[in-house]
Chains A and B, each alone.
Chain A
Amino acid sequence: MQTMPSIKLQCSNGEIFGVDTMLEDLGMDDEGDNDPVPLPNVKAAIFKKVIQWCTHHKHDPPPPTDDENKEKWTDDIPVWDQEFLKVDQGILFELILAANYLDIKGLLDVTCKTVVNMIKGKSEEICKSFNIKIDFTEEEEVQVCKENQWCEEK
């Protein structure tokens, strides 16, 4: 829809990126508007990674519309993405937020799946992995266990 070769995007720190117009969803109107589009919620470093991901995936077919019966697989993350996402948790979360903000479904899916794969094991382990402080009192914890006990035994 755009004939401009690229649009300009300005990250939160002011840095400007020129990007090939695959980002039609931004709904830009091609009237010779050369002002950069502000993306205040996205930092340059993260944006660079987003662009990297998008560039690698630019020939991907559009993701299927969500289907209620689609099975949830988290073991089908492509190898390139796995490597790409071997980053600090912080960066990973920022990528999630950026993907969410920029509405890049493929990136959001793969980053979320990566987090899912990190949620493993018992709750203590999860707390440790994510540095979450357990805020249950002992009674509350027992309560939750009891309520969910029916799950336990198959």
Chain B
Amino acid sequence: MGHLLSKEPRNRPSQKRPRCCSWCRRRRPLLRLPRRTPAKAPPQPAAPGSRDCFFRGPCMLCFIVHSPGAPAPAGPEEEPPLSPPPRDGAYAAAASSQHLARRYAALAAEDCAAAARRFLLSSAAAAAAAAASASSPASCCKELGLAAAAAWEQQGRSLFLASVGPVRFLGPPAAVQLFRGPPPPAEPPTPPEMVCKRKGAGVPACTPCKQPRCGGGGCGGGGGGGGPAGGGASPPRPPDAGCCQGSEQPPQPLCPPPSSPTSEGAPTEAGGDAARAGGTAPSPAQQQHECGDADCQEPPENPCDCHRDPPPETPDINQLPPSILLKIFSNLSLDERCLSASLVCKYWRDLCLDFQFWKQLDLSSRQQVTDELLEKIASRSQNIIEINISDCRSMSDTGVCVLAFKCPGLLRYTAYRCKQLSDTSIIAVASHCPLLQKVHVGNQDKLTDEGLKQLGSKCRELKDIHFGQCYKISDEGMIVIAKGCLKLQRIYMQENKLVTDQSVKAFAEHCPELQYVGFMGCSVTSKGVIHLTKLRNLSSLDLRHITELDNETVMEIVKRCKNLSSLNLCLNWIINDRCVEVIAKEGQNLKELYLVSCKITDYALIAIGRYSMTIETVDVGWCKEITDQGATLIAQSSKSLRYLGLMRCDKVNEVTVEQLVQQYPHITFSTVLQDCKRTLERAYQMGWTPNMSAASS
């Protein structure tokens, strides 16, 4: 490995402008071999201003000229690589550590313990397996690769899946309970000024006058349609809060104490149940007239009578306007609303039934979700836009069909591992929900091309699809989707053996907006992959363990797809140091590079450290030739690096890594030992206590 490094000192004056290759006018040099004058100058590149080589496609000639024969371990000396221009921490450690912190925070205590155990078992297993047989890396990797794919689906858990990349898999959003819906129908529309938000106690909008406020606070402003609300709930009232109704009215009678609701004889109006917290007020009409601020309408629904007589100083959450309570509830999970909040009081029960909480539903893993329940929920809230029924095994195609029928506005449909579902459900969804944007039906192994064809022809708005491990799907269905869904942005496939280069080509040709593309484990080769150079918006590419992939294709993709920020090449053994060097040089936006089980050496790490200004995540797990030197040098030289995966790089010493951890605290190092430590730390923090069985093996 060392022979590739120049013997000259590293700190040469850095050249700001790299020399161009005379052959192909590439902006940056390839391997800096001894200069050769080209036999003839090549003609100008075809496209004006293009930096690309005159030769279309992968420039084999350039490579031949510049790298005599084999890649990486090339014989001739090279000039020292350019020292990267100094950069400050442009890639904020803060951002990615915040990201990780979020992920930690998202883990529930039970997950952690289970995960720690799981992890410990798995690493022990992996270690044992590795010790036992020499062929373990591939199978471990494959397993972990699959596990990592599962992590794709479960955002937030991938931290514990040892090798294939840390946490940044694309996945469905973790929490789905977002409301942006219209205010609850029961509430009359509130004016934009939102002058009056409170029921009950309030101070009218007119000039305050020095009159004592009444205890219950329903000063003229209260109850139904009255004036503006005061500053707070029943708590301390301003000493001079005016009970002004305008001049005509004597203040007193307008502000009956809460317990005597009849002072003006019209306490009932306030919509539904009477006043809360003393919101008993004179009739709304009169009130509004008086108060001159007539546009406040108290929402009528106010069933909770429990606040008819609160002591004036007690804060009362139910005094808050319903829109605010709804906003608060929207931050609770479905479980918290249904199992806790709904049981607090009738008012909360009713609020929890509000439509906005039933628009985006995460019903995943609930085994009590049956077809009947789906129908019930769908009937109640027919404006469901997003639903997740992953791992629900008690419902069937029928339930999904009813749901689709009743919710034509459905935008996002997620149903992982619902192996009981067939084409019937997907066809129903396609037929009834033309606005569909996201379909994630990974692991529905009964799905066939028939379902896909329906999707492709009826759901033109599709942006995001996931058919991982739907083994029956083939090019036939995929091509229909490619041709029909021109707005696609994300495709995720996994181990669909009947999906070949044909599909890749079709997507590349028809779907220019693609950003995230994954064909892990599919029957795809370089011939198909090369078409992806057409996708200028490509930002994430997952080519784990495809049938065949050559270095030149990868280099070409990195050169052409300038927005590429994540590249996963794990388990493509052919990938070598040379390719990585080009990736490092050409990947101007590249942040993540996964090279588990590739044929690379320390040189690849060194090249990344030297040439890439942007890379934050590198995983070289299971690359047996990586040593302490590579790990140390990349940590030293890369300003942007934040994560280095060294899982089962057996030539790397844990002691060295421990030193690196101390020396470079902004970098997370992943090895067997480091991951165990992190897992346990996190577990302890969450109050978990260890099993008495051995922590690591």
Residues of A within 8 A of B (CB): 11-14, 38, 40-44, 46, 66, 68-75, 88-94, 96-98, 100-101, 103, 108, 112-113, 115-116, 119, 121-123, 126-127, 130-136, 140-141, 144-145, 148-154
Q: Please, which residues of chain B bring their CB within 8 A of the CB of A115? A: 317, 328
Complex Cα–Cα for A38 and B305 (A): 33
Q: Is the CB of B177 within 8 A of A136?
A: no
Complex Cα–Cα for A60 and B318 (A): 31
Q: Is the CB of A153 within 8 A of B197?
A: no
Complex Cα–Cα for A123 and B232 (A): 24
Q: Is the CB of A93 within 8 A of B334?
A: no
B678 at the interface (CB under 8 A from A): no
Q: Please, which residues of chain A bring their CB within 8 A of the CB of B239? A: 13
Q: List 19 A-B contacts (CB under 8 A).
A: A42-B231, A43-B230, A46-B232, A108-B327, A112-B324, A119-B336, A119-B340, A121-B340, A123-B340, A126-B341, A130-B316, A136-B349, A141-B343, A144-B342, A145-B343, A148-B339, A151-B366, A152-B339, A154-B366
Residue-wise interface mask of B (325-343) relative to A, using a CB-CB cutoff of 8 A (1 in contact, 0 not): 0011011101110111111
How many residues of B sit at the interface, in one of the four size bands? 35 or more
Q: Is the CB of A132 within 8 A of B228?
A: no
B319 at the interface (CB under 8 A from A): yes
B105 at the interface (CB under 8 A from A): yes
Of all A-B residue pairs in the complex, the 5 with the closest CB atoms, nearest first, are A90-B235, A94-B232, A90-B315, A123-B343, A133-B306
5 extra interface residue pairs, beta carbon distance < 8 Å, beyond A93-B233, A94-B231, A94-B233: A13-B241, A46-B232, A100-B194, A112-B327, A132-B306
Q: Is the CB of B315 within 8 A of A88?
A: yes
B46 at the interface (CB under 8 A from A): no
Complex Cα–Cα for A94 and B315 (A): 9
Q: Please, which residues of chain B bring their CB within 8 A of the CB of A108? A: 324, 327
Q: Is the CB of A148 within 8 A of B338?
A: yes
Q: Is the CB of A132 within 8 A of B318?
A: yes
Which of B128-136, B204-212, B662-670 forms part of the interface with chain A?
B204-212
Q: Is the CB of A88 within 8 A of B318?
A: no
Complex Cα–Cα for A129 and B306 (A): 15
Complex Cα–Cα for A154 and B324 (A): 30
Complex Cα–Cα for A124 and B197 (A): 28
Q: Please, which residues of chain B bring their CB within 8 A of the CB of A151? A: 334-335, 338-339, 366, 368
Q: Please, which residues of chain A bring their CB within 8 A of the CB of B205? A: 38, 40-41
Complex Cα–Cα for A92 and B345 (A): 21
Q: Please, which residues of chain B bring their CB within 8 A of the CB of A131? A: 314-316
Q: With A12-B241, A74-B331 in contact, do A68 and B178 touch (Cβ < 8 Å)?
A: yes
Complex Cα–Cα for A88 and B338 (A): 27
Complex Cα–Cα for A73 and B106 (A): 9
Q: Is the CB of A43 within 8 A of B232?
A: yes
Q: Is the CB of A41 within 8 A of B368?
A: no
Residue-wise interface mask of B (184-219) relative to A, using a CB-CB cutoff of 8 A (1 in contact, 0 not): 000000000011111000111111100000000000
Q: Is the CB of A93 within 8 A of B319?
A: yes
Complex Cα–Cα for A74 and B373 (A): 30
Complex Cα–Cα for A123 and B340 (A): 5
Q: With A71-B175, A123-B340 in contact, do A150 and B373 touch (Cβ < 8 Å)?
A: yes
Q: With A134-B345, A149-B368 in contact, do A112 and B328 touch (Cβ < 8 Å)?
A: yes
Q: B177, B203, B317, B324: which has the most chain A beta carbons within 10 Å? A: B317
Contact of B105 among A38, A75, A136, A154 (CB under 8 A): A75
Interface residues of B in 292-330 (CB under 8 A from A): 304-307, 313-321, 324, 327-328, 330
B369 at the interface (CB under 8 A from A): yes
Q: Is the CB of B235 within 8 A of A88?
A: yes
Query: Closest approach, in angstroms, between the C-beta of A109 and any C-beta of chain B?
Result: 9
Complex Cα–Cα for A135 and B317 (A): 15
Q: Please, which residues of chain A bring their CB within 8 A of the CB of B241? A: 12-13
Q: Please, which residues of chain A bring their CB within 8 A of the CB of B367? A: 153-154
Complex Cα–Cα for A130 and B174 (A): 29
Q: With A93-B317, A153-B367 in contact, do A135 and B235 touch (Cβ < 8 Å)?
A: no
Q: Please, which residues of chain B bring their CB within 8 A of the CB of A123? A: 340-344
Q: Is the CB of B197 within 8 A of A136?
A: no
